[in-house]
A and B are shown apart, each in its own frame.
Chain A
Amino acid sequence: DTAVSQTPKYLVTQMGNDKSIKCEQNLGHDTMYWYKQDSKKFLKIMFSYNNKELIINETVPNRFSPKSPDKAHLNLHINSLELGDSAVYFCASSQSRGSYNEQFFGPGTRLTVL
């Protein structure tokens, strides 16, 4: 039973297109995250939502727009895709009230922009 799931797993698209990645968690957590992992495996947080409210917004181009329709979902929409957007995008979730802030990660979405 998958805890954090992402779709699609792979996404290949042309520059300038608009695409979305979906994330769902069935852990009952109230906080969700999007991370970007570049080609050198470096992981950096992009956004975090708690109870559908944006709480962390790192320096990310405004072409990236997260949307949280409910606590269990956090989608990432990317407009006007650029070559530099090619990366693996990970969704994660946690229970914010927990003292350990353990995050559970999805399997990742590998985005390739041609």
Chain B
Amino acid sequence: AQSVTQLDSHVSVSEGTPVLLRCNYSSSYSPSLFWYVQHPNKGLQLLLKYTSAATLVKGINGFEAEFKKSETSFHLTKPSAHMSDAAEYFCVVRGPYSGGYNKLIFGAGTRLAVHP
């Protein structure tokens, strides 16, 4: 079965320092993986996606993630945090194909706090 585990429920960084949000996945086949961001009182926005092309995926707002099959990981990184990056981040895996469609399976989320 497909699942994702976000290893940290909260991450706190200082502005200008690197961001690392960790995600491990479990999948019985080649996965499709996503990172979504949710700013306070807002809907979710897609940051980036991996669909078996390049293992290093670049997304919006300077974020990127690297798919590592040997480690079953898809960690999200950014070289330098901005105050506006403070939000909830969700690692997501595409679920099994059933009835012609796939569900998205969400991790529990990681809250990123950015301090001045």
Contacts and interface: CB of A to CB of B under 8 A. Distances in A.
A41 B104 contact: no
Interface string A75-91: 00000000000000010
A55 B97 CA distance: 12
Given A42-B106, A55-B101, A100 B51 contact: yes
Contact of A106 (B43, B100, B109): B43
Interface size class of A (residues with CB under 8 A): 20 to 34
Contacts of B104: 45, 101, 103
B40 to A, nearest CB: 11
A108 B88 CA distance: 15
A12 interface: no
Contact of B103 (A50, A56, A100): A56
B101 to A, nearest CB: 5
A48 interface: yes
A44 B106 contact: yes
Given A48-B103, A90-B44, A105-B45, A41 B88 contact: yes
Contact of A42 (B46, B51, B103, B108): B108
B82 interface: no
Given A48-B101, A55-B100, A56-B101, A102 B46 contact: yes
Contacts of A7: none
B103 to A, nearest CB: 5
B90 interface: yes
Interface in A99-114: 99-108
Given A43-B106, A55-B101, A100-B49, 4 more contacts: A101-B94, A102-B49, A104-B46, A108-B43
Interface of A: 4, 31, 40-45, 48, 50, 55-56, 90, 92, 96, 99-108
8 contacts: A42-B109, A43-B90, A56-B99, A92-B44, A100-B51, A101-B94, A103-B104, A105-B36
